[in-house]
Structure 1
Amino acid sequence: MKNKALCIIDGVNTSQSLHTLLAQRCIAALPYGGRYRLIDFPLSNVVHSGITNVAIFPDGDYHSLSDHIRSGKFWGLDRKVDGLFLLPPKKEIVSSANSLTFARMREHIDYFLRSRQKYVIIYQANVITNIPFEKLVKHHIESKADVTIVSYKNKQVGIFVIEKDYLIDLILRHEISPYNSISALIELHEGLKINTYMHDSYTRTIDSIVSYYRANMDMLKYKYGFELFLLDRPIITKTKDESPAFYSKTADVSNSVVANGCIIEGKVENSIIFRDVIIKKGAIVRNSILMPNTVVGENSIVDRMISDKHVLINDGATVKGQEFIPAVLSKGQRVAGAKEINILQVATECVPFYKTGGLANVIFELTEELIKQGVRTDVILPYYSILDQRYVENLVHDFQSTVTVGENEINYDVYHYSNAGVKYYFISSGDLSRERPYGYSDDCKRYELFCYLTLDFISKRLLKYDVIHCHDWLTGLIPYFMKYEFSQQTRHFNYTKTIMTIHNIQYQGICDISDLAIIPQNEMIPNEIMLYEKVNFLKAGIVLSDRVTTVSPTYCNEICYPYFAEGLDRFIYTRKDALHGILNGVSYSYNNPNSDLSIYKTYCLKTVHLKKENKCQMQAELGLPVNPDIPVIGMVTRVIEQKGFDLILEIFEDLMRENVQFVLLGDGDHRYTSFFKKMANQYPDKVSANIGYNAYNSQMIYAGSDMFLMPSRFEPCGISQMIAMKYGTIPIVRETGGLKDTVIPYNEFTLFGNGFSFAHYSSRDMFYILKRALHFYYQPLHWNKLIQSAMETDLSWESSAKEYINLYRKVMND
């Protein structure tokens, strides 16, 4: 057998679902079952089948894999003839295939040419099974087939057998062949003779977080364990000398796998516990997978969670996933203790359900990070008829009630949707639940109803929240109704605090009192909600909430002055002691050039030279002359006055005299969009105007541009400059709001800074800074330093969420 077949292990996996666990390791090195890694299964199958020639094709970060396998001595593969070979990619090869491609094998064609064996077993590293390769190869030979596939319970498994000469022929012809991998060959080649080997022993394919979680939980069932871990074919792994696990008198362990070196003082049920995990007194761990060196603090609750290595869950924290949809903590993550803190986010949009602007991302990403840091957080949203059917089908009807307003009765229903530890509530009632979130003449009436029904639902449903976090003017009447309506009806909100976040003070929710339906019109109207004889939702939120926040520290200072405050400066100033500026973050799960599959070539700081390939691809797609050396200025934005387009129009002809290209994506005011369409016709080699938010891939502009222009008149926070920096695209901004807080002007003498900025709202000042940026673009020392500083700037939600947690604690103690 050993002279008949070699084995190549396919370590390629592009599953986005596993991204958190594969950020610092490849799929083959993924830990499993308390002491193993996935690579142990193919290597053990190899050893027990007498195969002596094995090659691993890893992708991503394979250092952990290399450390684990070393020379292969644990599997008897440290040999003078044949042996174990680790064959990483020699160059960047971008492919949508989720398996080893012929192009990847072509890089190591010498390995195949010099190997003596006649047959090749291809084993995808994400397959867990115990299979006799000798029987598999014999079955293939006897069938006289071109390819043999392995099947388990009538489903194809990622294990194949093919004759080596045929595989070499496929590899050498891959550039002119329609088949880029063995999987594609089997799927598309009609004339191929395919043999199926029916495997009847336990087999699982790890292609998602859910499948990984289930495969580990299977090991708590004796039936599956006995099928996988055979006495005559044991699974071999790298051995480590560790002291036995220590169980204190307070330990309570049932139906769990606990590895050596652990210290167990709390309760553990139905869990896989890797080595050197510490579970402290009073902690409860259920249905979870804890990788090495995880620490669970005292009185913490962990349920349906996967923790990567070196995770710290502080005392009193709670981390909970859902059934077979576990919460996942990344390597080294810290979860703040948040005992007795229950937060409700109230907003009108949230991805993935609804999105018209940045607010939707903020609600989702802030909530996601709060959950990661151990804060129980729910979200309440209106139910709009545009909600995608895939979510509608999974909504659970939670509550139904009626409120009496004057002589009218208003019926409403509440549905909930649970995901990743968050419960999203959707309130449905009459005109509130129209197709669009905004844009109706009676929007103030609709959101007056939303605010009222939110509190009615919370009180009747007996939901207890320490803090209700209100976002933008549309939720501004919640503090008013708590004080003037519900405090008279119930004690439910006696210990509930409110926080009002101003995302953009321009939008305030102004209407006549007669436009509303719930606030009494024939009684004395509280002054807190009125401004210039009009109801002002945002003013009500500012004046009546316990704390007020803005989305950046600079914007927090700016709105205390009339120029920025849109008539609310005196009310904001009187509340300055309760005012806080907390910078919004950006999610690097979605905005990361190293994992963004929507761009032409993924890259990181070490491979930032690939950024130019994205530039060339963008130039080609937009019909601009392809030139990797010409500086490209990009913009992704709403095309409105606030974004500084008056300044751009004033100097645009001057800019066109420079050796630059200009790429715009967005929509808005006609006078601006028509101007850029005209410029695109006048300067077809310099300007690409993509009018409409879906007119081109925004991520390609972030990846393909060299500079990113944001000369806003005011900008509460801004997210585009944060994304641009992560993609190594240097921001050129006006010093206002969040732009000032995130962009540090470059100092060529100290080589410090991550962008360029100008203070005055002046087209001349902006043009001067543009020329300064162009000057440094042609100086590699400075430009490379700028790119490095920009890409290393951490603007994730982690620190911002911690600031919110501290604020929640402060307001609870007020």
Structure 2
Amino acid sequence: MNILFAASEAVPFAKTGGLGDVVGALPKALAAQGMTVSVIMPHYGEIKDDAIRSFRRVASFTVKLGWRNQACNLLEGHVDGIRYYLIVNDYYYKRGTLYGYDDEAERYAFFCFAVLEGLRYIDERPAIIHCHDWQTGIIPFLLKTRYRDIPLYRGIRSLFTIHNLRYQGVFSQETLCDLLGVGRDMFTLDKLEFYGGGSCMKAGILYADKLTTVSRTYAEEIQTPVHGEKLDGVLRLRSPDLTGIVNGIDTDLFDPMRDPAIAFPYRTSIAKKRKNKAVLQRELGLDEAEDVPVLAIVSRLVEQKGLDLLEGALEGLLAESLQLVVLGSGEARYEELFARLASEHPRRVAVRFGFDDALARRIYAGSDIYLMPSQFEPCGLSQLLALRYGTVPLVRETGGLKDTVQAYDEYTGNGTGFSFRRYHAADFLLAVRRALTLYRNAPEWQRIVDNGAQRNYSWSASARDYAAVYRELAGNG
């Protein structure tokens, strides 16, 4: 079966978050199970020439986008056994960052058309186009409308994966009418209309043949008004076609026994992990104290991540014997909060803004407790990386966090971390204090670490679930 992934980002070329990790890792896991998988994505300015030196141009063509006729080059190459196609248009993609521009609608409408036009020039027609998030939501719509009666596209099925429902690609109806070449009749409640505008996310949800999202619990949550981001009714309508499949991680790429970014390789040895803690403390200017627990956050610093809970619990947290390490960037109010904390407590709080992959790995290796008190979390990869590195996650019971972190029960000895349910600073602080109490019990803490190490966080199980969805789609075709 030939599967084409269409996504706005993918490791190793471009990444802003978990989407890039998933699109980089899942194709390899599917290929290991005998599937032919390719990835198509934009050629961004941040992609280094050295990374695609072996790529070749397979086609040059024109994409009609409303009244515009835009040139497009299609590059092809292989990385780690996976074929990648890059959509080249410097006007849209040769910019400083991946996202955040006033013409996002035009940039990704162009991408969706270019993906489908590019199928005319590739060797193997895909049986299924696997689309990811709002940037590709127009592809299922086009397959069911504009390209429906063209023989080349007839029978191609589409799968649409929701990575984060909050980001929906909502634009004015005038803009989308212009770009897609459609009339206002396409902007009704049962089509693209969304509160007076038009939604690319809704297009993917309504027109794809099957839907997935990135955890079982999130699949349930997004069908409710609380987490449905005003699309819960549409998702309930498509509920029979919606499957929750939890993400995995690349266990070869993230392996504390072979990670070149950390000083002391280890598996579950707390003694060796504490050596990495000492290295981290020295690097960040913290007091070197192996018995003081280091709490860590590696994240986008945005409201979704529950950082207001941490702010509300600060007085209680700072009364405890602990250190806090933060790596990330985001909203100014949270950056200012952490900058102030680091300034007031330089030997206890260390903050680095931006993203540094090597430092992130040293934080996973050198910290003891990983904090994810999220408002909502479709899946989350950080808690899986923390478990892989023997760092015990403390999470709120939502989305993929609920599915992947089992609260520790000292009576049975089962569990891989700590959790709390109610979105309240007092509950978060209570969970932290419980974790700190157990941290001081060395045999108990080793048991929690060992429990986490026994879990399989690779993509293999998830890839089998995706393969089952593909087979179902192909059968329906």
Same fold (TM over 0.5): yes
* 2:32 paired with 1:369: no
The answer on whether the counterparts of 1:665 and 1:695 sit within 8 Å (CA) in structure 2 is: no
**Cα contact 1:382–1:426 (8 A) shared by 2:** yes
Kept in 1, the 8 Å contact 2:65–2:181? The answer is no
- Matching residue of 2:115: 454
Are 1:542 and 2:205 an aligned pair?
yes
1:693: how far off?
Answer: 1.9
8 Å contact from structure 2 (residues 65, 110) kept in 1:
no
Residue number in structure 1 paired with 2:102: 441
Which residue of structure 1 lines up, in the alignment, with residue 74 of structure 2?
A: 414
Work out the CA distance in 2 between the residues paired with 1:695 and 1:457: 33
767-776 vs 685-694, greater mean Cα deviation: 685-694
Cα drift, residue 521 of structure 1: 4.9
Aligned residue identity for 1:512: S
Call closer, same or farther: CA 1:462–1:601 in 2, change over 3 Å.
closer
**Which AA in structure 2 matches 1:439?**
G
2:340 to 671, 678, 686: 678
Q: Considering Cα pairs closer than 8 Å and 6+ residues apart, tell me whether 1 or 2 has the greater RCO.
A: 2
Q: Could you tell me how far apart the structure 1 residues matched to 2:420 and 2:116 are?
A: 45
Cα pair distance change 1:744/1:671, threshold 3 Å? same
Q: Does residue 566 of structure 1 match 2:226?
A: no
Aligned pair count reads: 472
Give the corresponding residue for 1:723.
385
Q: State the TM-score, normalizing by the size of structure 2.
A: 0.95
SS at match of 1:400: strand
Separation of aligned partners in 2, 1:804 and 1:389: 33
Cα distance in 1 for partners of 2:318, 2:326 equals: 14
CA contact (8 A) 1:513 1:521 kept: no
Equivalent residues in 2 for 1:590-609 (5 A)? Answer: 590-605=253-268, 607-609=269-271
Aligned counterparts, 1:476-487, within 5 A: 476-487=137-148
Match of 1:520 among 161, 181, 188: 181
Deviates more, 1:460-469 or 1:666-675: 460-469
1:6-45 mapped onto 2 (5 Å cutoff): none
Is the 8 Å Cα contact of residues 726 and 792 (structure 1) preserved in structure 2? no
1:17-36 CA distance string (max 9 Å, x none): xxxxxxxxxxxxxxxxxxxx
Change in CA separation of 1:531 and 1:355 when aligned onto 2, cut-off 3 Å: same
CA distance in 2, matches of 1:391, 1:603: 31
User: What is the root-mean-square deviation of aligned Cα atoms in Å?
Assistant: 1.6
Within-5 A mapping of 1:55-74:
none
Could you give the per-residue CA deviations for residues 588-628 of structure 1, whole angstroms, max 9, x where no partner exists?
111111111111211113x4420111111111221111111
Paired with 1:398 and 1:358, the residues of 2 have a C-alpha distance of 30
Work out whether residues 351 and 360 of structure 1, in 8 Å CA contact, stay in contact via their aligned partners in 2: yes
CA offsets 1:702-744 (integer angstroms, 9 cap, x no match): 1111111110000111111101111111100000111111100
Distance 1:405 1:784 in 2: 59
Matches within 5 A, 1:201-350: 341-350=1-10
What letter corresponds to residue 295 of structure 2 in structure 1?
Answer: I
Report the equivalent of 2:439: 777
CA distance in 1, matches of 2:389, 2:45: 36
1:464 maps to 2:125: yes
- Structure 1 residue 464: Cα displacement: 1.5
Q: 1:461 to 1:781 in 2, by over 3 A?
A: closer
Q: CA deviation at 1:531?
A: 1.3
Q: 1: distance between equivalents of 2:134 and 2:67?
A: 27
1:358 aligns with 2:27: no
CA drift at 1:387: 1.8
Aligned partner letter, 2:229: E
Letter in 1 for 2:214: V
Q: Which amino acid aligns with 1:681?
A: S
Give the deviation of 1:430 after TM superposition. 5.5
Deviation at 1:406, TM superposition (A): 5.4
570, 576, 583: which is aligned to 2:239?
576
Query: Partner residue of 2:427?
Result: 765
Q: Which has the higher helix share?
A: 2
Task: In structure 2, give the amino acid aligned to 1:484.
Answer: T
Q: Residues of 1 paired with 2:36 and 2:432: CA distance? A: 46
Instruction: Give the TM-score of the pair, scaled to structure 1.
Output: 0.57
> Separation in 1 of the partners of 2:317 and 2:358?
23
2:217 corresponds in structure 1 to 554
Taking the aligned partners of 1:697 and 1:603, their CA distance within structure 2 comes to 17
Secondary structure at the counterpart of residue 485 of structure 1: coil
- Would you say the 8 A contact 1:665–1:696 is kept in 2? no
Contact 2:63-2:110 within 8 A present in 1 as well: no
Distance 2:68 2:284 in 1: 57
Shift of 1:346: 0.3
Post-superposition offset of 1:508: 0.5
Letter in 2 for 1:354: A
Q: Which whole-Å CA distance do the structure 1 matches of 2:318 and 2:108 have between them?
A: 47
What SS does structure 1 have at the residue aligned with 2:212? strand
Q: Is the 8 A contact 2:187 2:198 kept in 1?
A: no
Partner of 1:706: 368
Task: State whether residues 369 and 797 of structure 1, in contact with CA within 8 Å, keep that contact through their aligned partners in structure 2.
Answer: yes
Aligned partner of 1:149 in structure 2 is none
Tell me the secondary structure at the aligned position of residue 524 of structure 1: helix
422, 428, 431: which is aligned to 2:91?
A: 431
Deviation of 1:524 (Å): 2.8
Q: How does 1:621-660 map to 2 (within 5 A)?
A: 621-660=283-322
Offset of residue 673 of structure 1: 1.6
How far off its partner does 1:393 sit?
2.6
Counterpart of 1:748, as a letter, is E
Rg: which structure is higher? Answer: 1
The equivalent residue for 1:32 is: none
Give the counterpart letter for 1:717 in structure 2.
C
In 1, Cα distance between equivalents of 2:37 and 2:194:
33
